[in-house]
């Protein structure tokens, strides 16, 4: 399997398809690089080089017990880009991956980066507070951790419903979508699952976003039941200079995986890459 060894000896699995200008996909929690299969093919077919890795403790990467914080994730991403010597890169990140993308730019700059896409991303802050009343209460994150520790297999099956907005009338979500979500979630370490909740729930990215100096597309569904649009996507687009915000009416948190929305996103992504 293709792997990149990080500075602390963790093996990061990645897919590397096609040839051309590189596009690197950063997955959300609790998924892995397989979540990007449709986008990897679309981008590679269009003449780009498509790369997607599994975050440490996820999928086929080393199932470590620690290192589940955004400084570490950003440095892992830097190790991967350096290992593959990727330049003029478009970074595309979903959900928690948006924090990884933002912290990467915050820590490592945009020397290798051409542009960025934040899809249903957690940036700039998920946690509800006086300065972020639209955010998610701490009690929600506590319940997520409790659910994982109580019986994670059933918890992931239940969580897939809200992730894809399968509880809405007219939803196009399939059993296959739910099964794929469960399969990827079960390939994540239990420690990583719990620790990542603290990381993506409470880490602020305001200063990281202010360091963006590349074209940035922000895409978010207005029915995102996991990462509220008003707390994240709208605010991120305001913090990133010149960012473009696209809101998908009725779009769930799992935009890139559900029929209809994924085709729209793929086209929006290809249009953005072609600029």
Strands of 59-195 (E only): list them: 89-94, 113-119
Question: CA-to-CA distance for 160 and 143, rounded, in angstroms?
Answer: 15
Query: Are the CB atoms for 165 and 253 separated by under 8 Å?
Result: yes
**Distance of alpha carbon 196 from alpha carbon 228, whole angstroms:** 18
Residues 6+ positions from 236 with CB-CB distance below 8 Å: 98, 118, 121, 123, 124, 209, 218, 243
Q: Residue 210 belongs to what H/E stretch?
A: helix 206-210
Residue 76 is among the residues annotated as catalytic for this protein: no
Active-site residue flag, 95: yes
The one-character DSSP state at 19 is S
* Residue linked to tokens 């469960």: 182
User: Residues 27, 53, 58, 253: which is the catalytic one?
Assistant: 253
H/E segment holding residue 6: none
Give me 162's structure tokens: 């809200």
Beta-bridged to residue 91, according to DSSP, are 24, 116
Catalytic residue (one of 54, 76, 208, 224): 224
Residue among 95, 115, 165, 252 flagged as catalytic: 95
Nearest to 257 by CA among 157, 176, 168: 176
CA angle 40, 168, 258 (to 5 degrees): 10
Has 171 been annotated as catalytic? no
* Residue numbers annotated as active site: 95, 224, 253
């Amino acid at each position: 399997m293709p792997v990149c060894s990080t500075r602390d000896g963790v093996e990061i699995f990645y897919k590397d398809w096609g040839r051309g200008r590189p596009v690197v996909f950063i997955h959300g929690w609790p998924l892995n690089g397989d979540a990007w299969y449709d986008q990897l093919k679309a981008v590679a077919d269009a003449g780009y080089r498509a790369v997607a890795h599994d975050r440490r403790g996820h999928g086929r990467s080393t199932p470590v017990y620690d290192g589940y914080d955004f400084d570490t994730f950003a440095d892992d991403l830097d190790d991967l880009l350096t290992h593959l010597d990727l330049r003029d890169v478009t970074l595309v990140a979903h959900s928690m991956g948006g924090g990884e993308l933002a912290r990467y730019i915050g820590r490592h700059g945009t020397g290798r980066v051409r542009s960025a896409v934040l899809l249903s991303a957690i940036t700039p802050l998920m946690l509800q507070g006086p300065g972020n009343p639209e955010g998610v209460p701490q009690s929600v994150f506590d319940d997520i951790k409790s659910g994982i520790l109580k019986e994670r297999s059933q918890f992931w099956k239940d969580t897939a419903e809200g992730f894809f907005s399968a509880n809405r009338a007219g939803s196009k979500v399939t059993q296959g979508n739910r099964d794929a979500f469960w399969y990827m979630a079960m390939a994540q370490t239990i420690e990583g699952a719990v620790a990542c909740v603290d990381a993506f729930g409470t880490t602020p990215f305001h200063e990281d976003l202010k360091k963006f100096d590349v074209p940035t597309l922000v895409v978010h569904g207005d029915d995102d039941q996991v990462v509220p649009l008003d707390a994240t996507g709208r605010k991120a687009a305001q913090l990133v200079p010149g960012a473009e915000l696209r809101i998908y009416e009725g779009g769930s948190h799992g935009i890139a995986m559900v029929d209809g929305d994924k085709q729209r996103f793929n086209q929006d992504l290809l249009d953005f890459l072609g600029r």
